[in-house]
Structure 1
Amino acid sequence: MTTAVVVAAGLGVAPRAQAQSSVTMWGTLDLGISYISNIGGHSVWRMDNVDLPNLLGFSGSEDLGNGTHAIFRLVTQFGVNGNILALPNNGSESGTGLFAENAWVGLDNERYGKLTLGRQYDFMMDTLYSDVGADAARYGGGYYQYRDGPFGNLAIPGSPPGDGSYRFDHMGADTALDNVVKYTSPLIDGLRFGGMYAFGGTAGDFRENSADSFGLSYSFKPFAVGVAYTDIRYATLLGDSVRNIGVGASYNTPKLLLTALFTNTLNTLNGAMVNAVEVGALYFVVPSFSTSLAYTYMWGNAVVDHNHANQLDAVFKYHLSKRTAVYVQAVYQITNSGANALINGTFGSSSGNTQFIGRIGMQTTF
């Protein structure tokens, strides 16, 4: 993802053994122009970042001996166009400000695993997105590929006003949780597992705003599979929670990547449930040119009026170098009659049951 830049010497500190310690600075930048066919009955042209989040990160490791390292990670998300912080906080007043994307410190032992403390992703992201690579948003559609649709009654805290429930399956680059204690095992013959607990920090109610999550993955190249579970007890749900379950798989070769993902989201307060199935493919026609295609079907229960949505996403990308690429993207969503289409990242429902996005953009990593 990044090109390592060791900057420990520039931090004004003198490590005891500089050769055994490092700080790496990295980042991603994406900007383009999107045409959105219908938001509230009107088309719109917009300059934004959606294929990659704009991130600036610092990762560090210090060798403590006996296979143990002290580690940390600080990541902030920002908007290139207008140079502002871009920090959706998923309904919590916490997690805003600098390095709200990720901010944690911990210990990593090559034999016993990793224990980390701070603001971190849960295992819907760690297992299904990172370890298995099962989400087409990772290699193709970006923000537009994350699941959204006419499921407003799902009532996810922090969703923008309107018909949708923003990124309801808790998979996305801005879904980190506060006050997390997380354990992640080392890779053991292709198997990795982990668990975490997020403290709510509410006086008089230990459970309020708390969360727990678990993940399990197994890789047997070129295949990988994983399962994950996350339960978040938002204060606004009065003791109830939003529960996510996911299963994912991938097949990965140098020229072809195939992925499949299933997620189930339940609001235990009102009983609203939405399922999503996604299949995707990435193919390198030549080393400098790739194309990806993803199809997603989302459907809900009676609480969300049995609404459903079909979405197609196609990306054609020309790689100018290992770091930099230009791309063209098209996204189309169609819902059942009477429901308003809503593609994630548009932040506005269509006035009808279809919505289309055409986009041209450029991205780079460092």
Structure 2
Amino acid sequence: MRKQLCLAAAVLVSQAAPTYAQSSVTLFGTIDAGVSYVSNEGGHGNAKFDDGIFTPDLFGLRGSEDLGGGTHAIFQLVNQFSLGTGATIGDGLFARTAYVGLENPGFGTLTMGDQYDFMPDALFFGGNEPARDIGGLYNFRNGPFQKLALPGNPTGAFDWDRVAGTQRVSNSVKYVSPSLAGANFGAMYAFGGVPGAIGANNAVSFSLNYAAGPFGAAAVYTNQKYGATAGSPATSVQNWGVGAHYQIGDLSTSALFTTVRNSASDGAVWMGELGGAWHLTEALLLGADYMYMKGNASLDNNHAHQVTTSLQYWLSKRTMVYVSGVWQRANNGAQAQINGVLDPDSASSSATQAIARVGIHTFF
């Protein structure tokens, strides 16, 4: 299958090359696999093969065509898959992202399609999310917040602040401004497609970003509506967050604060997080992270502490092996649930849950 994909990409490039000398089509991807031990899933320990944890398993195509005057036509098509079974994840071949657009260094970038909002764009890809280097999927947000009941969510609170990028925005138009003295902004609007109700099932997202030298920061707001028809209102899920990062020699530090509110359940959660990754050598990285999450009265005022550590050894510029550990402690009477533990009845039967993992990660 990979040879067929490479051949298809080569054919596309060869067909485009005679007319568009400055055009390119690139095949890329990430692969992650390992063995995890979960201390308590529904009252039982579980040793299992688990993939797509440090990063999701992805392959995709990205392309750029030089239109002259600094303007490029761009596109990206990305598939997510399960390495353990080979199955596609999501509804469709390119359910992870699929967009086309234009970019120009003086005017910014405009894209249209199924794409990330600014919660992952500005906070994760902007370097303001500790989980980027520490723990991966297990270190994003979940917890004893099953009553949050987010639409279409496997645990009710999986990746509740969207920063992991598990929730894309379909039928969206997105603009990112050029950078001026390190600052830029972004705006997105997604069409709901409900006849007679233009604002039904729509989504909006905005970001303000700054990055210069060792310091960067971002502020983001996203509001997505679900389930509206011409005669009934939508469920509105609102997220906002702020984050910052700072590089001190071989130490990368980051801090993040995010929130969510679901209008249907009246549930809300906020989270504060602080993490650091230290390059002990050029090949060896040690990371540690702490977060605290707190739900409102609709979520029984449940709260949780979570600590994550990770040790990575890079065998090359593309491939590393790693060990990581995650521990979550919820309040008494609540059920801990670390993000990424998604099997049926996967919440802990107690207020604690822990994961130990050994894995390998590569990208191309």
- Give the C-alpha shift of residue 311 in structure 1: 0.4
Asked if the contact 1:76/1:100 (under 8 Å) is kept, the reply is yes
Are the aligned partners of 2:72 and 2:103 in contact in 1 as well (CA < 8 Å)?
A: yes
Counterpart-to-counterpart distance in 1, 2:8 and 2:281: 35
CA distance in 1 between counterparts of 2:188 and 2:245 reads: 24
Q: 1:228 is matched by which residue type in structure 2?
A: V
Match of 2:42 in 1: 40
Show the counterpart of 1:289: 284
Given candidates 70, 74, 77, the residue that maps to 2:73 is 70
How many Å separate the matches in 2 of 1:33 and 1:240? Answer: 38
Match of 2:180 among 173, 188, 200: 188
- CA spacing shift, 1:160–1:52, aligned 2, 3 Å: same
Cα distance, 1:98 vs structure 2 = 0.5
Give the equivalent residue in structure 2 for 1:239.
234
- Secondary structure of 2:150's counterpart equals coil
Please list the CA deviations of residues 301-356 of structure 1 after superposition, one character each: whole Å capped at 9, or x if unmatched: 11101000000110111111110000011100000000000000112100000001
Using the aligned pairs only, state the percent identity.
Answer: 46
Q: Which of these residues, 268, 276, 281, is aligned with residue 271 of structure 2?
A: 276
**Which residue of structure 1 aligns with residue 128 of structure 2?**
134
User: What's the counterpart of residue 154 of structure 2?
Assistant: 160
Q: Is the 8 A contact 1:260 1:278 kept in 2?
A: yes
- Give structure 1 stretches of 5+ with no counterpart: 88-95
Task: Please show how residues 279-318 of structure 1 align to structure 2 within 5 Å.
Answer: 279-318=274-313
Letter in 1 for 2:337: L
8 Å contact kept, 1:180–1:196: yes
Verify: 1:103 aligned to 2:98, yes or no: yes
How many angstroms apart in 2 are the aligned matches of 1:253 and 1:111? 32
Between 168-177 and 326-335, the greater mean CA deviation after superposition: 168-177
Cα 1:19–1:192 change in 2 (3 A) is same
Task: Give the letter for the 1:152 counterpart.
Answer: Q
CA distance in 1, matches of 2:265, 2:233: 11
Aligned length: 351
Alpha-carbon distance, 1:297 to partner:
0.3
Calculate the TM-score normalised by the size of structure 1: 0.92
User: How far apart are residue 254 of structure 1 and its match?
Assistant: 5.8
1:149 equivalenced with 2:150 (yes/no): no
CA drift of 1:204 comes to: 3.0
Cα-to-partner distance string for 1:1-57 (whole Å, 9 max, x where unaligned): xxxx99865225233554311111111100000000101101111111211110101
Match of 1:332 in 2: 327
8 A Cα contact 2:306 2:326, kept in partner: yes
1:238-289 residue CA offsets vs partner (Å, 9 max, x unmatched): 4230000000000125621100000011112332110011111111100111
Is contact 2:74–2:101 with CA below 8 Å preserved after alignment?
yes
Counterpart pick for 1:53 among 56, 60, 75: 56
Q: Is the 8 A contact 2:16 2:23 kept in 1?
A: no
Are positions 1:10 and 2:11 aligned together? yes
Please name the residue that 1:219 is paired with: 211
- Counterpart CA distance in 2 for 1:352 and 1:8 is 50
Corresponding position of 1:353: 351
Q: 2 CA distance for matches of 1:157 and 1:135?
A: 24
Please point out which of 97, 102, 117 is paired with 2:112.
117
Moved more, 136-145 or 197-206: 197-206
Which residue identity is paired with 1:155? A
CA contact (8 A) 2:322 2:359 kept: yes
When structure 1 is superposed on structure 2, of 239-248 and 10-19 the one drifting more is: 10-19
Say which SS state the counterpart of residue 25 (structure 1) adopts.
strand
